[in-house]
Chains A and B, each alone.
Chain A
Amino acid sequence: MVRASTIAWVKRMELGVLAWGDGGWGDELARGAMVTIAIASAAYVVGSVLGILFAAMKLSGSSTLRSLATAYTTAMRGMPEMLVIYIVFFGGGSLGTWIATNVLGVRGHVDLPSFAVGVVCIALSVAAYACEVIRGAVLAVPHGQIEAAQAVGMTSLQRNRLVVAPQAFRLALPGMTNVWQFTVKDTALVSIIGVTEVMRSASIASNATKQPFTFYLAALAIFIVIAYLSQRLFTRLQQSADRGVRWGA
Protein backbone atom coordinates (compact mmCIF):
# COMPACT_ATOMS: atom_id res chain seq x y z
CA MET A 1 0.00 0.00 0.00
CA VAL A 2 2.56 2.48 1.17
CA ARG A 3 4.80 1.49 -1.66
CA ALA A 4 2.14 1.94 -4.30
CA SER A 5 1.16 5.39 -3.06
CA THR A 6 4.78 6.47 -2.81
CA ILE A 7 5.39 5.42 -6.35
CA ALA A 8 2.31 7.30 -7.48
CA TRP A 9 3.49 10.38 -5.63
CA VAL A 10 6.94 10.20 -7.14
CA LYS A 11 5.39 9.76 -10.56
CA ARG A 12 3.28 12.85 -10.08
CA MET A 13 6.43 14.78 -9.26
CA GLU A 14 7.90 13.80 -12.60
CA LEU A 15 11.49 13.87 -11.53
CA GLY A 16 12.51 14.18 -15.15
CA VAL A 17 12.30 17.94 -14.71
CA LEU A 18 15.43 17.69 -12.59
CA ALA A 19 17.41 16.29 -15.54
CA TRP A 20 20.64 17.85 -16.69
CA GLY A 21 20.85 19.92 -19.87
CA ASP A 22 18.13 21.42 -22.10
CA GLY A 23 15.51 18.90 -21.08
CA GLY A 24 15.54 19.67 -17.35
CA TRP A 25 16.44 22.15 -14.68
CA GLY A 26 19.08 20.13 -12.85
CA ASP A 27 22.01 22.10 -14.27
CA GLU A 28 20.31 25.42 -13.49
CA LEU A 29 19.81 24.32 -9.89
CA ALA A 30 23.42 23.17 -9.66
CA ARG A 31 24.57 26.53 -10.99
CA GLY A 32 22.33 28.19 -8.38
CA ALA A 33 23.99 26.08 -5.68
CA MET A 34 27.42 27.23 -6.87
CA VAL A 35 26.31 30.87 -6.78
CA THR A 36 24.95 30.37 -3.25
CA ILE A 37 28.24 28.85 -2.10
CA ALA A 38 30.24 31.57 -3.86
CA ILE A 39 28.22 34.41 -2.30
CA ALA A 40 28.27 32.82 1.13
CA SER A 41 32.03 32.15 1.03
CA ALA A 42 32.95 35.60 -0.26
CA ALA A 43 30.63 37.32 2.24
CA TYR A 44 31.97 35.16 5.07
CA VAL A 45 35.59 35.96 4.31
CA VAL A 46 35.00 39.69 3.80
CA GLY A 47 32.65 39.82 6.81
CA SER A 48 35.13 38.01 9.05
CA VAL A 49 37.93 40.39 8.11
CA LEU A 50 35.63 43.35 8.83
CA GLY A 51 34.55 41.60 12.03
CA ILE A 52 38.17 41.38 13.18
CA LEU A 53 38.55 45.08 12.42
CA PHE A 54 35.41 46.02 14.38
CA ALA A 55 36.43 43.73 17.26
CA ALA A 56 39.84 45.44 17.35
CA MET A 57 38.05 48.81 17.45
CA LYS A 58 35.82 47.66 20.31
CA LEU A 59 38.82 46.38 22.25
CA SER A 60 40.95 49.44 21.56
CA GLY A 61 41.82 52.14 24.05
CA SER A 62 40.17 54.85 21.97
CA SER A 63 36.64 55.65 23.07
CA THR A 64 35.87 57.14 19.64
CA LEU A 65 36.72 53.87 17.90
CA ARG A 66 34.79 51.92 20.51
CA SER A 67 31.62 53.96 20.04
CA LEU A 68 31.89 53.83 16.25
CA ALA A 69 32.11 50.05 16.31
CA THR A 70 29.31 49.75 18.85
CA ALA A 71 27.06 52.03 16.81
CA TYR A 72 27.73 49.93 13.73
CA THR A 73 27.08 46.53 15.29
CA THR A 74 23.99 47.71 17.15
CA ALA A 75 22.45 49.29 14.05
CA MET A 76 23.38 46.38 11.82
CA ARG A 77 21.99 43.74 14.11
CA GLY A 78 18.75 45.66 14.60
CA MET A 79 18.07 46.19 10.88
CA PRO A 80 16.27 43.67 8.66
CA GLU A 81 18.82 42.50 6.13
CA MET A 82 16.38 42.98 3.31
CA LEU A 83 16.39 46.68 4.11
CA VAL A 84 20.17 46.76 3.97
CA ILE A 85 20.08 45.10 0.57
CA TYR A 86 17.48 47.53 -0.81
CA ILE A 87 19.31 50.54 0.54
CA VAL A 88 22.68 49.51 -0.85
CA PHE A 89 21.29 48.31 -4.17
CA PHE A 90 18.83 51.10 -4.96
CA GLY A 91 20.57 53.79 -2.99
CA GLY A 92 23.88 52.86 -4.60
CA GLY A 93 22.22 52.80 -8.02
CA SER A 94 20.70 56.27 -7.54
CA LEU A 95 24.00 57.60 -6.29
CA GLY A 96 25.75 56.10 -9.31
CA THR A 97 23.18 57.64 -11.66
CA TRP A 98 23.53 61.01 -9.96
CA ILE A 99 27.31 60.90 -10.26
CA ALA A 100 27.06 59.80 -13.88
CA THR A 101 24.77 62.68 -14.87
CA ASN A 102 26.06 65.46 -12.63
CA VAL A 103 29.76 64.72 -12.38
CA LEU A 104 30.66 62.74 -15.46
CA GLY A 105 27.94 64.24 -17.65
CA VAL A 106 26.77 60.88 -18.99
CA ARG A 107 23.06 60.25 -19.51
CA GLY A 108 21.49 57.04 -18.39
CA HIS A 109 20.80 54.79 -15.48
CA VAL A 110 23.51 53.06 -13.45
CA ASP A 111 22.85 49.54 -12.26
CA LEU A 112 25.12 48.09 -9.63
CA PRO A 113 26.37 44.54 -10.22
CA SER A 114 23.91 42.54 -8.13
CA PHE A 115 26.32 39.74 -7.24
CA ALA A 116 28.81 42.17 -5.74
CA VAL A 117 26.08 44.09 -3.94
CA GLY A 118 24.76 40.83 -2.54
CA VAL A 119 28.18 39.87 -1.25
CA VAL A 120 28.76 43.30 0.28
CA CYS A 121 25.37 43.44 2.00
CA ILE A 122 25.66 40.00 3.54
CA ALA A 123 29.26 40.70 4.52
CA LEU A 124 28.13 43.85 6.33
CA SER A 125 25.80 41.82 8.49
CA VAL A 126 28.28 38.96 8.93
CA ALA A 127 30.75 41.57 10.19
CA ALA A 128 28.39 42.69 12.96
CA TYR A 129 27.88 39.17 14.28
CA ALA A 130 31.49 38.05 13.73
CA CYS A 131 32.66 41.12 15.64
CA GLU A 132 30.85 39.99 18.78
CA VAL A 133 32.07 36.40 18.45
CA ILE A 134 35.68 37.50 17.93
CA ARG A 135 35.57 40.08 20.70
CA GLY A 136 34.25 37.45 23.10
CA ALA A 137 36.96 35.01 22.04
CA VAL A 138 39.74 37.56 22.53
CA LEU A 139 38.42 38.40 26.00
CA ALA A 140 38.31 34.70 26.84
CA VAL A 141 42.08 34.30 26.33
CA PRO A 142 43.37 33.92 29.90
CA HIS A 143 44.87 37.22 31.05
CA GLY A 144 47.78 35.47 32.76
CA GLN A 145 49.01 34.24 29.39
CA ILE A 146 49.06 37.80 28.09
CA GLU A 147 51.01 38.90 31.17
CA ALA A 148 53.48 36.08 30.57
CA ALA A 149 53.98 37.43 27.04
CA GLN A 150 54.56 40.91 28.45
CA ALA A 151 56.95 39.50 31.00
CA VAL A 152 59.28 38.08 28.33
CA GLY A 153 59.29 41.49 26.65
CA MET A 154 57.05 40.84 23.64
CA THR A 155 55.68 43.92 21.89
CA SER A 156 51.91 44.24 21.78
CA LEU A 157 52.00 43.16 18.14
CA GLN A 158 53.96 39.99 18.98
CA ARG A 159 51.66 39.32 21.91
CA ASN A 160 48.60 39.53 19.70
CA ARG A 161 50.13 37.48 16.91
CA LEU A 162 51.76 34.73 18.96
CA VAL A 163 49.51 34.40 21.99
CA VAL A 164 46.12 36.06 21.53
CA ALA A 165 45.28 35.32 17.88
CA PRO A 166 45.90 31.55 17.87
CA GLN A 167 43.86 31.06 21.02
CA ALA A 168 41.10 33.46 20.03
CA PHE A 169 40.84 31.55 16.74
CA ARG A 170 40.15 28.32 18.60
CA LEU A 171 37.74 29.98 21.01
CA ALA A 172 35.88 31.76 18.19
CA LEU A 173 35.37 28.67 16.06
CA PRO A 174 32.06 27.47 17.56
CA GLY A 175 30.54 30.94 17.21
CA MET A 176 32.00 31.40 13.75
CA THR A 177 30.51 28.05 12.70
CA ASN A 178 27.10 29.48 13.60
CA VAL A 179 27.85 32.64 11.67
CA TRP A 180 28.69 30.55 8.60
CA GLN A 181 25.44 28.59 8.84
CA PHE A 182 23.32 31.72 8.83
CA THR A 183 25.48 33.30 6.14
CA VAL A 184 24.45 30.42 3.88
CA LYS A 185 20.78 30.97 4.74
CA ASP A 186 21.06 34.72 4.19
CA THR A 187 22.14 34.22 0.60
CA ALA A 188 18.47 33.51 -0.16
CA LEU A 189 17.78 37.22 0.42
CA VAL A 190 19.86 38.39 -2.52
CA SER A 191 17.41 36.72 -4.89
CA ILE A 192 15.35 39.90 -4.47
CA ILE A 193 17.92 41.89 -6.41
CA GLY A 194 18.09 39.30 -9.16
CA VAL A 195 21.02 37.12 -8.20
CA THR A 196 20.28 33.63 -9.45
CA GLU A 197 21.22 31.56 -6.46
CA VAL A 198 19.45 28.40 -5.30
CA MET A 199 16.18 30.04 -4.29
CA ARG A 200 15.83 32.06 -7.48
CA SER A 201 16.79 29.10 -9.67
CA ALA A 202 14.15 27.00 -7.93
CA SER A 203 11.57 29.72 -8.31
CA ILE A 204 12.29 30.22 -12.02
CA ALA A 205 12.12 26.47 -12.60
CA SER A 206 8.90 26.06 -10.67
CA ASN A 207 7.26 28.90 -12.55
CA ALA A 208 8.25 27.34 -15.85
CA THR A 209 7.16 23.81 -14.98
CA LYS A 210 4.35 24.50 -12.51
CA GLN A 211 5.98 22.07 -10.10
CA PRO A 212 6.92 24.29 -7.16
CA PHE A 213 7.01 21.47 -4.63
CA THR A 214 9.59 19.49 -6.60
CA PHE A 215 11.93 22.42 -6.97
CA TYR A 216 11.62 23.78 -3.46
CA LEU A 217 12.22 20.28 -2.17
CA ALA A 218 15.34 20.18 -4.35
CA ALA A 219 16.41 23.57 -2.94
CA LEU A 220 15.89 22.19 0.56
CA ALA A 221 18.08 19.19 -0.29
CA ILE A 222 20.81 21.51 -1.56
CA PHE A 223 20.78 23.60 1.62
CA ILE A 224 20.87 20.47 3.77
CA VAL A 225 23.83 19.09 1.85
CA ILE A 226 25.69 22.41 2.17
CA ALA A 227 24.92 22.53 5.91
CA TYR A 228 26.04 18.96 6.41
CA LEU A 229 29.30 19.32 4.50
CA SER A 230 30.21 22.60 6.16
CA GLN A 231 29.44 21.19 9.60
CA ARG A 232 31.92 18.40 8.90
CA LEU A 233 34.52 20.87 7.70
CA PHE A 234 34.17 23.04 10.81
CA THR A 235 34.25 20.02 13.10
CA ARG A 236 37.55 19.02 11.49
CA LEU A 237 38.91 22.52 11.95
CA GLN A 238 37.87 22.54 15.59
CA GLN A 239 39.50 19.18 16.20
CA SER A 240 42.78 20.30 14.74
CA ALA A 241 42.67 23.59 16.66
CA ASP A 242 41.94 21.72 19.89
CA ARG A 243 44.73 19.18 19.42
CA GLY A 244 46.86 19.10 22.54
CA VAL A 245 45.07 22.05 24.09
CA ARG A 246 42.14 20.21 25.55
CA TRP A 247 42.15 16.85 27.23
CA GLY A 248 41.27 13.99 24.95
CA ALA A 249 41.60 16.13 21.85
Chain B
Amino acid sequence: MQALVATDIRKAFGPLEVLRGISLKADKGDVIAIIGGSGSGKSTFLRCLNLLERPDAGSLWLNGLALDFGDGDRARTIAPATKAQLRRRLGMVFQSFNLWTHMTALDNVIAGPIHVLGQDRKAAREAGMELLGKVGLADKAAAHPAQLSGGQQQRVAIARALAMRPEALLFDEPTSALDPELVGEVLQVIKALAAEGRTMILVTHEMAFARDVATHVMYFLDGRVEEEGAPDRIFTDPRSERCRSFLRKFL
Protein backbone atom coordinates (compact mmCIF):
# COMPACT_ATOMS: atom_id res chain seq x y z
CA MET B 1 0.00 0.00 0.00
CA GLN B 2 1.51 3.33 -1.02
CA ALA B 3 2.12 5.85 1.73
CA LEU B 4 4.26 8.58 0.23
CA VAL B 5 4.86 9.32 -3.42
CA ALA B 6 6.99 12.13 -4.84
CA THR B 7 6.99 12.58 -8.60
CA ASP B 8 9.55 14.42 -10.68
CA ILE B 9 10.52 16.94 -7.97
CA ARG B 10 12.59 19.82 -9.32
CA LYS B 11 14.25 22.63 -7.47
CA ALA B 12 16.71 25.35 -8.42
CA PHE B 13 18.37 28.00 -6.32
CA GLY B 14 18.84 30.79 -8.81
CA PRO B 15 20.83 29.34 -11.68
CA LEU B 16 21.83 26.28 -9.66
CA GLU B 17 19.67 23.26 -10.46
CA VAL B 18 19.80 21.24 -7.29
CA LEU B 19 17.05 18.70 -8.01
CA ARG B 20 16.55 17.66 -11.63
CA GLY B 21 13.47 15.52 -11.40
CA ILE B 22 13.49 13.09 -8.50
CA SER B 23 10.76 10.51 -7.91
CA LEU B 24 10.26 8.35 -4.86
CA LYS B 25 7.65 5.78 -3.89
CA ALA B 26 7.36 4.54 -0.35
CA ASP B 27 4.94 1.82 0.61
CA LYS B 28 3.74 1.63 4.18
CA GLY B 29 6.58 0.25 6.32
CA ASP B 30 9.30 1.00 3.77
CA VAL B 31 12.61 2.36 4.97
CA ILE B 32 14.21 4.25 2.12
CA ALA B 33 17.85 5.21 2.58
CA ILE B 34 19.14 8.12 0.50
CA ILE B 35 22.89 8.18 0.04
CA GLY B 36 25.17 10.32 -2.09
CA GLY B 37 28.00 12.82 -2.05
CA SER B 38 27.94 16.24 -0.48
CA GLY B 39 25.87 18.72 -2.47
CA SER B 40 24.02 16.04 -4.43
CA GLY B 41 20.66 17.38 -3.19
CA LYS B 42 19.73 14.89 -0.45
CA SER B 43 18.80 17.49 2.14
CA THR B 44 17.04 19.67 -0.39
CA PHE B 45 14.92 16.72 -1.52
CA LEU B 46 13.96 15.83 2.04
CA ARG B 47 13.09 19.46 2.74
CA CYS B 48 10.95 19.52 -0.39
CA LEU B 49 8.96 16.58 0.97
CA ASN B 50 7.63 18.66 3.88
CA LEU B 51 7.79 21.95 2.03
CA LEU B 52 10.56 23.56 4.04
CA GLU B 53 11.67 24.21 0.47
CA ARG B 54 9.06 24.95 -2.14
CA PRO B 55 9.61 22.61 -5.11
CA ASP B 56 9.58 24.33 -8.50
CA ALA B 57 7.83 21.45 -10.18
CA GLY B 58 6.53 17.95 -9.55
CA SER B 59 3.90 16.57 -7.21
CA LEU B 60 3.49 14.95 -3.82
CA TRP B 61 1.00 12.44 -2.51
CA LEU B 62 0.66 11.42 1.12
CA ASN B 63 -2.09 8.92 1.90
CA GLY B 64 -4.66 10.73 -0.18
CA LEU B 65 -3.36 14.29 0.28
CA ALA B 66 -2.22 15.40 -3.17
CA LEU B 67 -0.14 18.49 -3.98
CA ASP B 68 0.79 19.63 -7.45
CA PHE B 69 3.59 22.14 -7.76
CA GLY B 70 2.91 22.87 -11.40
CA ASP B 71 5.52 22.90 -14.06
CA GLY B 72 8.05 25.59 -13.27
CA ASP B 73 5.11 27.73 -12.21
CA ARG B 74 6.60 29.29 -9.08
CA ALA B 75 3.80 31.78 -8.70
CA ARG B 76 1.33 29.10 -7.71
CA THR B 77 1.14 29.27 -3.93
CA ILE B 78 0.37 26.42 -1.60
CA ALA B 79 -2.39 27.22 0.89
CA PRO B 80 -0.94 27.55 4.41
CA ALA B 81 -3.54 25.08 5.68
CA THR B 82 -2.44 22.45 3.15
CA LYS B 83 1.17 23.04 4.05
CA ALA B 84 0.42 22.67 7.76
CA GLN B 85 -1.58 19.51 7.14
CA LEU B 86 1.23 17.88 5.18
CA ARG B 87 3.76 18.88 7.81
CA ARG B 88 1.86 17.57 10.77
CA ARG B 89 1.40 14.25 8.99
CA LEU B 90 5.16 13.97 8.30
CA GLY B 91 7.72 13.86 11.10
CA MET B 92 11.11 15.49 10.54
CA VAL B 93 14.35 14.87 12.41
CA PHE B 94 17.19 17.31 11.68
CA GLN B 95 20.92 16.80 11.65
CA SER B 96 21.35 19.53 14.27
CA PHE B 97 18.38 18.36 16.43
CA ASN B 98 16.80 21.84 16.50
CA LEU B 99 15.19 21.35 19.86
CA TRP B 100 13.51 24.43 21.31
CA THR B 101 16.14 25.44 23.85
CA HIS B 102 13.82 27.33 26.19
CA MET B 103 11.60 24.29 26.76
CA THR B 104 12.20 21.12 28.75
CA ALA B 105 12.53 17.81 26.93
CA LEU B 106 8.91 16.95 27.73
CA ASP B 107 7.64 20.36 26.62
CA ASN B 108 9.48 19.91 23.32
CA VAL B 109 7.65 16.63 22.83
CA ILE B 110 4.16 17.83 23.77
CA ALA B 111 4.12 21.32 22.21
CA GLY B 112 3.03 19.97 18.83
CA PRO B 113 0.31 17.63 20.14
CA ILE B 114 -1.13 20.38 22.35
CA HIS B 115 -0.97 23.34 20.00
CA VAL B 116 -1.21 21.73 16.60
CA LEU B 117 -3.28 18.60 17.24
CA GLY B 118 -5.31 20.19 20.04
CA GLN B 119 -4.76 17.34 22.49
CA ASP B 120 -5.49 18.12 26.12
CA ARG B 121 -2.46 18.77 28.24
CA LYS B 122 -2.84 15.79 30.54
CA ALA B 123 -3.20 13.24 27.76
CA ALA B 124 -0.32 14.84 25.87
CA ARG B 125 1.91 14.66 28.93
CA GLU B 126 1.14 11.00 29.44
CA ALA B 127 1.80 10.17 25.81
CA GLY B 128 4.93 12.35 25.89
CA MET B 129 6.32 10.56 28.93
CA GLU B 130 5.67 7.26 27.27
CA LEU B 131 7.59 8.37 24.17
CA LEU B 132 10.50 9.67 26.25
CA GLY B 133 10.56 6.27 27.92
CA LYS B 134 10.61 4.64 24.54
CA VAL B 135 13.76 6.56 23.51
CA GLY B 136 15.27 5.82 26.93
CA LEU B 137 14.97 9.30 28.41
CA ALA B 138 12.09 9.13 30.89
CA ASP B 139 14.41 10.46 33.58
CA LYS B 140 15.32 13.51 31.48
CA ALA B 141 11.79 14.85 30.99
CA ALA B 142 12.49 17.99 33.02
CA ALA B 143 15.94 18.66 31.54
CA HIS B 144 16.55 21.50 29.09
CA PRO B 145 18.39 20.72 25.84
CA ALA B 146 21.55 22.47 27.11
CA GLN B 147 21.73 19.86 29.85
CA LEU B 148 21.57 16.92 27.44
CA SER B 149 24.25 15.26 25.32
CA GLY B 150 23.92 15.36 21.55
CA GLY B 151 22.68 11.79 21.44
CA GLN B 152 20.08 12.53 24.10
CA GLN B 153 18.97 15.68 22.28
CA GLN B 154 18.52 13.74 19.06
CA ARG B 155 16.47 11.09 20.84
CA VAL B 156 14.24 13.83 22.29
CA ALA B 157 13.90 15.20 18.76
CA ILE B 158 12.80 11.77 17.56
CA ALA B 159 10.25 11.59 20.38
CA ARG B 160 9.03 15.05 19.35
CA ALA B 161 8.48 13.85 15.80
CA LEU B 162 6.75 10.65 16.97
CA ALA B 163 4.41 12.58 19.25
CA MET B 164 2.62 13.93 16.18
CA ARG B 165 1.76 10.33 15.18
CA PRO B 166 3.24 10.93 11.72
CA GLU B 167 2.41 8.78 8.73
CA ALA B 168 6.05 8.87 7.66
CA LEU B 169 9.30 10.04 9.25
CA LEU B 170 12.03 12.01 7.50
CA PHE B 171 15.58 11.87 8.88
CA ASP B 172 18.34 14.15 7.57
CA GLU B 173 21.68 12.67 8.65
CA PRO B 174 20.45 12.19 12.21
CA THR B 175 23.84 11.08 13.51
CA SER B 176 26.23 13.31 11.55
CA ALA B 177 26.49 15.93 14.28
CA LEU B 178 27.21 13.38 16.99
CA ASP B 179 30.42 12.26 18.63
CA PRO B 180 31.18 8.71 17.44
CA GLU B 181 30.40 7.15 20.80
CA LEU B 182 26.88 8.66 20.75
CA VAL B 183 25.92 7.47 17.27
CA GLY B 184 24.94 3.98 18.39
CA GLU B 185 22.22 5.02 20.83
CA VAL B 186 20.43 7.04 18.13
CA LEU B 187 20.74 4.37 15.43
CA GLN B 188 19.33 1.85 17.89
CA VAL B 189 16.20 3.99 18.33
CA ILE B 190 15.79 4.37 14.57
CA LYS B 191 16.23 0.66 14.08
CA ALA B 192 13.52 -0.06 16.62
CA LEU B 193 11.20 2.27 14.69
CA ALA B 194 11.96 0.41 11.48
CA ALA B 195 11.13 -2.86 13.21
CA GLU B 196 7.74 -1.39 14.19
CA GLY B 197 6.99 -1.02 10.52
CA ARG B 198 7.14 2.75 10.34
CA THR B 199 7.53 4.40 6.97
CA MET B 200 10.83 6.27 6.94
CA ILE B 201 13.01 8.24 4.54
CA LEU B 202 16.53 8.39 5.86
CA VAL B 203 19.41 10.45 4.50
CA THR B 204 22.56 8.95 5.93
CA HIS B 205 26.28 8.39 5.60
CA GLU B 206 26.12 5.33 7.85
CA MET B 207 26.35 2.75 5.08
CA ALA B 208 26.39 -0.32 7.31
CA PHE B 209 23.28 0.92 9.04
CA ALA B 210 21.55 1.73 5.74
CA ARG B 211 22.28 -1.76 4.51
CA ASP B 212 20.97 -3.20 7.74
CA VAL B 213 17.63 -1.37 8.06
CA ALA B 214 16.73 -0.09 4.60
CA THR B 215 14.25 -1.81 2.33
CA HIS B 216 15.31 0.35 -0.60
CA VAL B 217 18.37 2.51 -1.32
CA MET B 218 18.63 5.56 -3.58
CA TYR B 219 21.99 6.95 -4.67
CA PHE B 220 21.84 10.67 -5.53
CA LEU B 221 24.25 12.30 -7.94
CA ASP B 222 24.01 15.93 -9.04
CA GLY B 223 20.31 16.23 -8.27
CA ARG B 224 19.34 12.96 -9.97
CA VAL B 225 18.81 9.41 -8.84
CA GLU B 226 21.85 7.76 -10.37
CA GLU B 227 20.96 4.33 -9.08
CA GLU B 228 18.41 2.70 -6.79
CA GLY B 229 17.40 -0.73 -5.68
CA ALA B 230 17.50 -3.30 -2.91
CA PRO B 231 20.26 -2.63 -0.37
CA ASP B 232 21.99 -5.98 -0.85
CA ARG B 233 22.37 -5.38 -4.56
CA ILE B 234 23.36 -1.69 -4.32
CA PHE B 235 25.99 -2.36 -1.69
CA THR B 236 27.44 -5.47 -3.30
CA ASP B 237 26.97 -4.98 -7.00
CA PRO B 238 26.18 -1.40 -8.05
CA ARG B 239 25.73 -0.93 -11.80
CA SER B 240 26.77 2.69 -11.87
CA GLU B 241 30.49 3.31 -11.85
CA ARG B 242 29.94 6.55 -9.90
CA CYS B 243 27.95 4.69 -7.26
CA ARG B 244 30.61 2.01 -7.07
CA SER B 245 33.41 4.52 -6.48
CA PHE B 246 31.26 6.45 -3.99
CA LEU B 247 30.66 3.31 -1.95
CA ARG B 248 34.30 2.30 -2.09
CA LYS B 249 35.12 5.33 0.07
CA PHE B 250 33.09 3.82 2.89
CA LEU B 251 34.73 0.42 2.94
10 nearest A-B pairs in the assembled complex, by CB-CB distance: A153-B88, A244-B144, A152-B112, A144-B98, A148-B98, A151-B92, A153-B87, A153-B84, A153-B116, A166-B102
Q: Is the CB of B146 within 8 A of A163?
A: no
The size bracket of the interface on B is 20 to 34
Asked if B50 is at the interface (CB within 8 A of a chain A CB), the reply is yes
Q: Is the CB of B111 within 8 A of A244?
A: no
The smallest beta-carbon distance between A147 and chain B, in angstroms, is 6
Q: Is the CB of A144 within 8 A of B112?
A: no
- Residues A163 and B100 in contact in the complex (CB < 8 Å), given A152-B164, A246-B146: yes
Q: Is the CB of A152 within 8 A of B88?
A: yes
Asked if B85 is at the interface (CB within 8 A of a chain A CB), the reply is yes
Q: Is the CB of B112 within 8 A of A153?
A: yes
Residues in B neighbouring A147, C-beta threshold 8 A: 52, 94, 98
Asked if B96 is at the interface (CB within 8 A of a chain A CB), the reply is yes
Asked if A208 is at the interface (CB within 8 A of a chain B CB), the reply is no
* Cβ-Cβ contact count across A and B, 8 Å cutoff: 76
> What are 17 of the A-B contact pairs (CB < 8 Å)?
A142-B98, A144-B94, A144-B97, A144-B98, A148-B98, A148-B99, A148-B157, A152-B116, A152-B161, A153-B85, A158-B115, A162-B111, A167-B101, A244-B104, A244-B147, A245-B144, A246-B146
Asked if B80 is at the interface (CB within 8 A of a chain A CB), the reply is yes
Asked if A9 is at the interface (CB within 8 A of a chain B CB), the reply is no
The smallest beta-carbon distance between B54 and chain A, in angstroms, is 12
Q: Is the CB of A154 within 8 A of B94?
A: no
The smallest beta-carbon distance between B242 and chain A, in angstroms, is 31
Q: Is the CB of A151 within 8 A of B87?
A: yes
Within 8 A of A (CB), among B84-137: 84-85, 87-88, 90-92, 94, 96-102, 104, 111-112, 115-116
Among B84, B94, B102, B147, which residue has its beta carbon within 8 angstroms of that of A148?
B94
Give Cα A247 to B148, complex, Å. Answer: 11
Among A154, A244, A245, which residue has its beta carbon within 8 angstroms of that of B112?
A154
Asked if B11 is at the interface (CB within 8 A of a chain A CB), the reply is no
Residues in A neighbouring B87, C-beta threshold 8 A: 150-153
The smallest beta-carbon distance between A172 and chain B, in angstroms, is 13
Residues in A neighbouring B85, C-beta threshold 8 A: 153
Residues in A neighbouring B52, C-beta threshold 8 A: 147, 150-151
**Given A151-B52, A151-B87, A152-B161, list of 16 further CB < 8 A pairs?**
A144-B96, A151-B50, A151-B91, A151-B161, A153-B87, A153-B88, A153-B164, A154-B112, A154-B116, A156-B80, A166-B102, A244-B104, A244-B144, A244-B146, A244-B147, A247-B146
0/1 per residue, A153-190, Cβ < 8 Å to B?
Answer: 11110100011001100100000000000000000000
Asked if A74 is at the interface (CB within 8 A of a chain B CB), the reply is no
Give Cα A51 to B99, complex, Å. Answer: 28
Give Cα A170 to B100, complex, Å. Answer: 13
Residues in A neighbouring B42, C-beta threshold 8 A: none
Task: With CB as the reference atom, state the residue of chain B lying closest to A246.
Answer: B146
0/1 per residue, B61-85, Cβ < 8 Å to A?
Answer: 0000000000000000000100011
Asked if A60 is at the interface (CB within 8 A of a chain B CB), the reply is no
Task: With CB as the reference atom, state the residue of chain A lying closest to B101.
Answer: A245
Asked if A239 is at the interface (CB within 8 A of a chain B CB), the reply is no
Asked if B216 is at the interface (CB within 8 A of a chain A CB), the reply is no
Asked if B160 is at the interface (CB within 8 A of a chain A CB), the reply is yes
The smallest beta-carbon distance between A129 and chain B, in angstroms, is 25
Task: With CB as the reference atom, state the residue of chain B lying closest to A243.
Answer: B144
Residues in B neighbouring A170, C-beta threshold 8 A: 102
